[in-house]
Amino acid sequence: MTRKERKVAKIDSSYMDQYDAYMQRQLKKKKRLLRRLVLFSFIVFLTIGSITTYHLKQRNLYADKQGQYESLQKELAVLKSEEKDLQEEVKLLNDEEYVLQIAKTNYFFTEKGEIVFKLPDEDPSY
């Protein structure tokens, strides 16, 4: 006898029928409430997971863009210094004396009466 048997008889009355119907409705309400809570919880967890995934992807994208921005800033600084050097060289190349000096040292250009001596240890003047 693992299960206890009911020894009390059920009363057949309209009140008991109404009470049984009421209890069935309450049980169905509980089941519906539980289903709604489970569905709502699933939607909340799905939304939180999606937002977290999106946030992490955006953080990675931001870090990549930040690194790319920094490298481009460094490249810009290098290019600006190179531009400054090239502008200085253009100013020097517009100077006739500087061009003559380069022509004399690198290309052995001479004027009348000059003799050019090339020394092996001498660096170019520019």
Instruction: Domain ranges for the chain, please list them.
Output: 14-107
Q: What percent of the chain has pLDDT over 70?
A: 89
CB atoms within 10 A of CB 109: 14
Packing angle of the helix pair 14-94, 96-107 (nearest 10 deg)? 80
User: What is the structure's pLDDT at 7?
Assistant: 78
Q: How far apart are CA 108 and CA 114, in angstroms?
A: 10
What does the pLDDT look like over 11-56, one tens digit per residue?
778 898 999 999 999 999 999 999 999 999 999 999 999 999 999 9
Banded pLDDT at 124 (limits 50, 70, 90):
low
Q: What is the pTM of this model?
A: 0.52
